[in-house]
Structure 1
């Protein structure tokens, strides 16, 4: 196979992954490409993990600060976590080995809104970025880079890093060329200007990354697949959640609060989100558009059927079957799919302007609509807030979804008080479980509580929730948002002690 490195100067910098990894040192801040398993470097992190293992075996320290777009894959997050080679991780992760290091206190973790990461790096809040390790699908003759299957924070890493290591992955479909929209119009305050985007399918940038070729210290040619996401078929719970939400959207159209083609949709990742997208694909709406973080199976199916006319995202997150279908005809999606930097895909200004319908998952919600989307039992991180806060705070409609129970019914996902707050009651408009949907708009806290218990809580837990709420209304210090502080987290304590709420 011929090389995809067409620039002569960069072709002369080709080397092995082990040679490239030797250019990264203990204490470095390293910006890695990758977003939900798409477009991450495949070989340099593994070589780096081997160096870390060797250094630790020799009694030498070797840890880095690792910055990414979002979660990555076992050969990046997992490999470096198993090597105990990450001192600080940001802004999002989902790898079991990485999560275990964080929850055991071996790795520091900063859980960030994804729209904040690039600007915080530009502001200098994280310190200096020493090295960028970025996967691309090609290098043009003039040195510009053809982005890979995710964009994430790659533009910022390439701009900010002192040194650049490129992985040029021949596995990536060459038809990716032209599917990206890299915007170079952002600036630091007070020079910022409005971002000129008014439609999800609108181009405002260019298809390629610009770089300073002098900063490139290594080019590693690879041929390795992305990590495919495994989605299970929608179960009865997911289908019920989807049905409640679609009925609600139909009601909003009938009431004149949404147009017949809705507003641009945003969907989080996961089986419930995919079930909602499948329901939308079979539902009454046509001519939909999406402005979201990731394009997953459900959105691809909507594009294939024509229900969805265009989708703007920062990465793919597809099953192996869906990825095979996409790659078989990727060129036909030019003009219908755009991949952008996450500072654009998640930008509050654009989310507010476009009027998104934001649909995201959660771990638990409380009686008043506060949502925990990151922590189990208050202190153990699951994955991270990701972009859910970017969308929830600024969307036209902010929807959070979950089954009403977890762990075979031993945990209620509707609780008196959430054990960790990611999205306050002020940013949550709609809560949906398989039991029903609670439209919280225009309701005071006590009216929210009554509705959430009746519509969203599992019947097994409703009596206890009613009892807590009724007693709080009689005995709390204040009656605006009544709580019994001595009992508010007792459900979580009982689960930790007895294995059942």
Structure 2
């Protein structure tokens, strides 16, 4: 038995994943750890999936409602979706099998803001949380859990579940202990201000205290996180990163930013990671992050002495960088803080710190509305995640994207977005490889020229033609605030569905 289970009472609860899965019943609400492929349970999902398959073979129903921090991995979301074991899923996902099940109607999916999902569990919106399955680095003598590579919604699930199953993963470095900062927000209506005025402040404990009487099983594992490599930084990503730095330089010139006063948030993905890499050779020093995830680019900034604090709720690292983190966790714990996502994404703190936020998108329209989630309005990709937590409340909310996708078949700039996640009131800056559009202080019609300039050259004439048609309609109808021709506003999307490309044949 692992010496990572130091509590005598819980050492008596050690069993196999298959035995522990017997505590998870059909219809249960199951909250699990995990955020962007880090810190999720490794053994229980497969055991539950196998239990579901066996039940289905017997002609019995077996499906659970699954709650996470964010996305997990193929050996979690993937195996459960493949076994048709997920009836309902929230708040964020990225697994291709699960995505297919959501889009074909097998699985109900609710795309909640990450900062709110734990609160909704506390408030009982989904009914009773039956089981919490949480990965830990170790269990202390007092029975406290030391979180692994993510915190996410662990506290809310552990506090509200009837039963707790703990996976103690010896792959995770014991030196992660001390990195977490666990702070519970008072329950309504007795909430107090969150005492964070700087990203580097610690306000809680390094462990999660739990009700030991609720623990029904402890499972030992030795398995790695899902650590997908980032794509090599290509010329397009370098161009986008360069335009982002140009924008920051403009903020310095305007007196709104200093070279040692940049506090950032960054979404997940290859392009945001490239932007962080671009900061290595910039004039910016003493960079701080108050964000969701720690990516490779942030680790590079820390190693270079450019970033002094990185506060998040999870890692999202490539295999190489995950190995580095495991080997040198005690060193990085001096700079990195992992918080519950109710804290890492909390609007109150985001607004107070004055963050410059950077996220990705599927499409933006000529007035600056952004769709982050649904292709052609109905096909779910991953979810809004925490991007809206930061976009609505950040000091400057920017979106970065290549100008086209699918080999040029899809334009990232369209006449009207087919689904709205971030409204024009919240979106301040949009950046593609063709430049940046600073939309602050502009009325809708004043934004159009800047937005069309960001589009791929193949699509600019089509966008200009649409806007001219929309203007003519608006002038005739006296609807000039936000001109649209509703008959053709979604023509790009309709053409893509009909022909496989947004371009005119």
TM-score, normalised by the number of residues in structure 1: 0.99
Alignment match, 1:286? 285
Q: Do structure 1's residue 494 and structure 2's residue 495 form an aligned pair?
A: yes
CA distance in 1, matches of 2:63, 2:137: 28
The 10-residue stretch of structure 1 (226-235 or 380-389) with the greater mean CA deviation from structure 2: 226-235
Q: Is the 2:262–2:286 contact (alpha carbons within 8 Å) kept by the matching residues of 1?
A: no
State whether residues 69 and 341 of structure 2, in contact with CA within 8 Å, keep that contact through their aligned partners in structure 1. Answer: yes
Contact 1:263–1:355 (CA<8 Å) still a contact in 2? no
Structure-1 residue corresponding to 2:140: 140
5+ residue gaps, structure 1: none
Q: Distance in 2 between matches of 1:412 and 1:37?
A: 29
Q: Deviations over 1:391-423 (max 9, x none)?
A: 000001000011111111111110000011000
Contact 2:403 2:412 in 1 (8 A): yes
Aligned to 2:243: 244
Contact 2:181 2:204 in 1 (8 A): yes
Which residue of structure 1 lines up, in the alignment, with residue 376 of structure 2? Answer: 377
**1:179 corresponds to:** 179
Specify the alignment match of 1:104 in structure 2. Answer: 104
Structure 1 residue 328: Cα displacement: 2.1
CA contact (8 A) 1:123 1:188 kept: no
Q: Secondary structure at the match of 2:436?
A: strand
- Following the alignment from structure 2 to structure 1, what is the Cα–Cα distance between the partners of residues 303 and 133? 34
Q: Which moved more, 1:426-435 or 1:459-468?
A: 459-468
1:467 and 2:465 correspond? yes
What is the CA distance between 1:121 and its match in structure 2? 1.0
Give the C-alpha shift of residue 122 in structure 1.
1.1
Q: Tell me the distance in 2 between the aligned counterparts of 1:257 and 1:474.
A: 39
Superposed CA offset, 1:164-191 (max 9, x none):
000011111000010010002x122221
The whole-number CA distance in structure 2 between the counterparts of 1:152 and 1:245 is: 29
Gaps of 5+ in 2: none
Match of residue 203 from structure 2: 204
Aligned to 1:316: 315
Shift of 1:460: 1.1
Distance 1:90 1:120 in 2: 11
Deviation at 1:197, TM superposition (A): 0.5
Aligned to 1:125: 125
Say whether the 8 Å CA contact 1:180–1:338 is kept in structure 2. yes
| Counterparts of 1:18 and 1:440, CA distance in 2 | 55
Aligned match of 2:332:
333
Contact 2:2 2:220 in 1 (8 A): no
Give, in whole Å, the separation in 1 of the partners of 2:270 and 2:141. Answer: 42
SS at match of 2:66: strand
- Report which stretch shifted further, 331-340 or 107-116: 331-340
Given that residues 262 and 284 in structure 2 are in contact (C-alpha distance below 8 angstroms), is that contact kept between their aligned partners in structure 1? Answer: no
Once the 2 structures are TM-superposed, how far is the Cα of residue 323 of structure 1 from its aligned partner? Answer: 1.3
Query: Following the alignment from structure 1 to structure 2, what is the Cα–Cα distance between the partners of residues 44 and 69?
Result: 16
| CA distance in structure 2 between the aligned counterparts of 1:293 and 1:107, rounded to whole angstroms | 26
- Cα displacement (A) at 1:2: 3.9
SS of residue matched to 1:359: strand
Q: CA RMSD in A?
A: 0.9
Mapping of residues 255-266 of structure 1, within 5 Å: 255-266=254-265
Q: Following TM superposition, by how much is the alpha carbon of 1:3 offset from its aligned partner in structure 2, in angstroms?
A: 2.4
Give a deviation string over 1:221-244, Cα, whole Å, max 9, x none: 111111102201111111111000
- Runs of 4+ residues over 6 Å off in structure 1: none
Distance 1:496 1:446 in 2: 28
Q: Please give the TM-score of this superposition, normalised by the length of structure 2.
A: 0.98
- For each residue in 1:398-452, what CA deviation from the matched residue of structure 2 results, as whole angstroms up to 9, or x when unmatched? 0001111111111111000001100000110000000110000000000011211
The one of 455, 459, 466 aligned to 1:457? 455
Contact 2:262-2:288 at 8 Å conserved across structures: yes
CA distance in 2, matches of 1:166, 1:106: 29
Residue 19 (structure 1) aligns with: 19
SS where residue 196 of structure 1 aligns?
coil
> Which SS does the other structure have where 2:244 is aligned?
helix
The alpha-carbon deviation at position 377 of structure 1 amounts to: 1.1
Deviation string 1:80-118 (CA, Å, 9 cap, x unpaired) is: 000000000000000000000000010000001000011
The question of whether the paired residues in 2 share the 8 Å contact of 1:430 and 1:438 is answered with: yes
Residue correspondence of structure 1 range 38-53 to structure 2 within 5 A: 38-53=38-53
Contact residue 201 and residue 335 of structure 1 kept, 8 A: no
Partners of 1:333 and 1:62 in 2: how far apart? 43
Give 3-state SS (helix, strand or coil) of 2:84's partner. coil
Structure 1 residue 463 displacement after superposition:
1.0
Alpha-carbon distance between aligned partners in 2 of 1:190 and 1:269, rounded to the nearest angstrom: 33
The CA distance in 2 between the partners of 1:7 and 1:409, in whole Å, is 58
Could you tell me which residue of structure 2 aligns to residue 484 of structure 1? 485
Equivalent residue for 1:87? 87
Give the distance between the partners of 1:412 and 1:47, measured in 2 at CA: 42
Contact 2:351 2:395 (C-alpha < 8 Å) held by counterparts: yes
Residue 229 (structure 2) pairs with residue 230 (structure 1):
yes
Q: How does 1:26-37 map to 2 (within 5 A)?
A: 26-37=26-37
Q: Secondary structure at the match of 2:165?
A: strand
Per-residue CA deviations over 1:312-332 (Å, capped at 9, x if unaligned) read 010011001111222222111
Structure 2 CA distance for aligned equivalents of residues 235 and 43 of structure 1: 37
Contact 2:94 2:382 in 1 (8 A): yes
Q: Partner residue of 1:344?
A: 343
Shift of 1:351: 0.2
CA distance in 1, matches of 2:188, 2:443: 37
SS in 2 for 1:98: helix
Secondary structure in structure 1 of the residue aligned to 2:232: coil
Partner of 1:130: helix, strand, or coil? strand
